[in-house]
Structure 1
Amino acid sequence: MPDPDNVFSGSIPENYDRYMVPLIFEPYAADLAHRASALSPKRVLETAAGTGVVPRFLLPQLPADTVYIATDLSRPMLDFAASVLPDPRVRWQSADALDLPFDDGGFDVVLCQFGAMFFPDRVRAYRETLRVLAPGGVFLFSVWDDLDTNEFAAEVTDELAEMFPDDPPRFMARVPHGYHDIAQIERELRDAGFTRIGFDTVTAQSVAPSPLIAATAYCQGTPVRAEIEERDAGALQEATERAAARIASRYGEGEVRGRIQAHIITAST
């Protein structure tokens, strides 16, 4: 059975791209694309590519002969990504970041936006990344900082805890915001063989047209949906509306803005 924390199927890919991508992922995709383009790579691999937000920002900055392979475990996410970005330079390929089906030294840059938190064995994934990097290649990836520095995610998590006090949904704290300790990340990268490691903590704004859009993003565009429906199969809309009301009470009824924060890591040898 698939890990419920890693299930992005059904309507989740579409909702994820419609709501989550503009809400929290686009600012960091633009940042990662800027860092990657400065390296002038000819061969790029992306792991845990999701619905393909990074290449939307990066490909316009790269030469026409660039090879870009975007991988993910979730075929539904990749299929949606391919429908949104039908660029002939991109090959969308199902692949496990812990067991990459590529030759040694095949890429100048490996990218991973907010995927490392999902890896069941991060040291193994980092070793695989290092294996497929060419000499002098660079691994660029991002992870979310802790839940308290990401305001809408924290509000939704707190509201769901009030709604389900006996068994609060904890996906956001457990996975997306559960891998933020810089010392741990550096230790695991070094265990995998990386020797030059840099961190930037980047704060940005999460902007939604309304509290309901922000709440819908988290409650219906992530595995939080499965957590809600496991507890009460008919409670998804109520949970979404409660989360929206909580966000509105703190950030207003119209366009809402909240803080988001993440670590951007650069690793090489």
Structure 2
Amino acid sequence: MPDSTVDRQFLGSIPEMYERYLVPLIFEPYGADLAERVRGRRLDRVLELAAGTGAVTRHLARCLPAACELVATDLQQPMLDQAASVAMSRPVQWRQADAMQLPFPDASFDAVLCQFGVMFFPDKRAAFAEARRVLRPGGVFLFNVWDAIEHNEFADTVTQALAHVFPADPPLFLARTPHGSHDTDALTVDLARAGFARAPEVETVTARSRAPSPNIPAVAYCQGTPLRNEIEARGEGRLVMATDAAMQAIARRFGRGPVDGKIQAHVFTVRNG
């Protein structure tokens, strides 16, 4: 198995490709969903973990009360730089931070949100404990995780296509990390051991991932995620070849015109006390 740090490296052109292709492809519907879950709550200060390029941040900026302070963090400064380059409807405090060692005082936020970042935390229990620590009593922690890869059709198709391209050593980033934390029971245990006394509410949310051509999801996954690191490690010129193989596989399964695939995730809501 590759060094787990490789799975968390969003370097070079990955942040820009991630924002251009992956955000509209799979993150937008879940970003809107997560932000809507805090709409109407009495909130003075909100923290976002693993904000990436700001997919949820933009939704939060539109739906939170005008006086609410919004702080968005990510471990990867290049992702925050990409996020900050996009105009927001309100001021946002962008801050580089490790979710497992948050640089904030105890009980300093009314809500903590994290979209598809939990899967990248090396120690989920530590990150959950930090989220609980910075939450005020009665505050809410919301996060989502992708379901198993077979419930996410484009990601599954790309992974299978690359297994044919590299049969001796298939790149398994998508199955291993983004889709590797779908066990809701295990996450519930981690939340309890992190100090959350209440059981979480867990909802499975299914949506559709649409693109004007098979090339878009192929580029999104192969070039806009750390899967790119795995592909490029297998030799010069392999990225173009792998992206083309992924595109052809998507075209065979979904057609050569506009494509439409299932995506599915679990959404957790847990109160602090």
2:266 maps to which residue? 263
Q: Which residue of 2 aligns with 1:201?
A: 204
Q: Alignment partner for residue 128 of structure 2, among 126, 129, 133?
A: 126
Change (3 A) 1:2 1:155: closer
CA RMSD, Structure 1 to Structure 2 (Å): 1.2
Q: Secondary structure at the match of 2:38?
A: helix
Flag the 1:87–1:9 CA change in 2: closer, same or farther, 3 A.
Answer: farther
2:215 is aligned to 212
Aligned to 1:68: 70
SS at 2:47 equivalent: strand
Q: CA shift at 1:86, angstroms?
A: 4.3
Q: What do residues 58-109 of structure 1 show as CA deviations (whole Å, max 9, x unaligned)?
A: 2111222110000001000001100113455210000000000000000000
How far the C-alpha of 1:195 sits from its partner, in A, is 2.3
For residue 17 of structure 2, the aligned residue among 15, 18, 36 is 15
- 1:205-261 deviation digits (Å, cap 9, x = unpaired): 001110001100000000011111101221111111110010001101111000000
Residue equivalent to 2:256:
253
Contact 1:68 1:91 in 2 (8 A): yes
Given the alignment, which residue of 186, 189, 192 partners 1:187?
Answer: 189
Write the letter of the residue equivalent to 1:79.
D
Amino acid corresponding to residue 214 of structure 1 in structure 2? P
1:211, 1:254 within 8 Å by CA — same for their partners in 2? yes
Q: Aligned pairs, how many?
A: 269
Larger mean Cα displacement after TM superposition, 146-155 or 54-63: 54-63
For the 8 Å contact 2:212–2:257, the answer to whether it is kept is: yes
Q: How does 1:149-160 map to 2 (within 5 A)?
A: 149-160=151-162
Partners in 2 of 1:152 and 1:23 — Cα distance? 10
DSSP-derived class of the 1:96 partner: coil
**Among 55, 79, 87, the residue aligned to 2:57:** 55
Other structure's SS at 1:193 match: coil
1:219–1:225 CA contact under 8 A, matched in 2: yes
Residue matched to 1:244: 247
Shift of 1:33: 0.6
Of the three residues 44, 66, 82, the one matched with 2:84 is: 82
Is 1:40–1:62's contact at 8 Å kept on the other side of the alignment? Answer: no
Q: How does 1:164-179 map to 2 (within 5 A)?
A: 164-179=166-181
Q: Which runs of 5+ in 2 are unaligned?
A: none
Moved more, 144-153 or 56-65: 56-65
Aligned to 2:114: 112
Task: Give the distance between the partners of 2:33 and 2:130, measured in 1 at CA.
Answer: 24
Secondary structure, counterpart of 1:238 in structure 2: helix
Q: Which runs of 5+ in 1 are unaligned?
A: none
Distance 2:267 2:159 in 1: 24
Q: Report if the CA contact (8 A) 2:214-2:258 is conserved.
A: yes
Alpha-carbon separation, structure 2, partners of 1:31 and 1:88: 20
**SS state at 1:36 partner:** coil
Counterparts of 2:212 and 2:27 in 1: how far apart (Å)? Answer: 16
SS of 2:162's equivalent? helix
Deviation by residue 1:166-218 (Cα, 9 ceiling, x = unmatched): 10000001000000001101000000011221100000000111000110000
**Percent identity of paired positions between Structure 1 and Structure 2:** 57
